[in-house]
Amino acid sequence: MTRRHLLSLLAALGLAQRSTAAPEPKAAPAASNIEPLKLTDAQWKQRLTPAQYDVLRKEGTERAGTSPLNAEKRKGRYHCAGCDLPLFSSETKYESGTGWPSFYAPLAGAFEYERDFKLFLPRTEYHCVRCGGHHGHRFNDGPQPTGKRYCNNGVALKFVPEPQA
């Protein structure tokens, strides 16, 4: 196991951080033109696959290494599988070695943040600003320029390739 993998594992468990950060705001400033999407539980179950529903609506986690998006290398954008809001550019995707699609920066105003103590140690969880869907956790062990790692469940994303010229 390399030092980077060990640090990633420890950071995922909340036992190590590269830098200390100020507490996260409850919500990122959202673009004023993003209309919230509110559906009933039955509507979400109809709209999503069981795996998407588990992650996006019940804050589940897909098994590491199972997402086809781990190998996605084309240029494009990653959208929320729940509401189609663009969340990440392919330019910020990188191989973190964690088994989940990872990014070092989201698109502006895409997420709301909150502290998560589900593993008894604080983590920063992020949710789609439009539909409230759970996507993953943000850690302080990513590459520059941000030093952040957005560890995203692939099932919560939809890849939209850049049109060919």
Q: Indicate which residues carry an active-site annotation.
A: 151
Reply yes or no: is the peptide bond before residue 163 cis, omega within 30 of 0: no
Best CA proximity match to 108, nearest among 39, 35, 38, 32: 32
pLDDT band at 79 (very low <50, low <70, confident <90, very high): very high
Q: What is the pLDDT of residue 8?
A: 47
pTM score of the predicted model? 0.79
Q: Is the pLDDT of residue 13 over 70?
A: no
Distances (CA, A) of 15 to 7, 9, 61, 95, 144: 9, 9, 20, 21, 21
The confidence band for 119, taking pLDDT boundaries of 50, 70 and 90, is low
Q: Which amino acid is it at 157?
A: L
For residue 11, what pLDDT band results from cuts at 50, 70 and 90?
A: very low
- In order of their start, the domains of the chain are 3-17+29-161 (2.170.150.20)
Query: In this predicted structure, what is the pLDDT of residue 122?
Result: 85
Q: Place 16 in a pLDDT band, splitting at 50, 70 and 90.
A: very low
Residue 3 in this model has a pLDDT that exceeds 90: no
**CA-closest candidate to residue 49, choices 164, 158, 152, 128:** 158
- Higher-pLDDT residue of 122 and 77 is 77
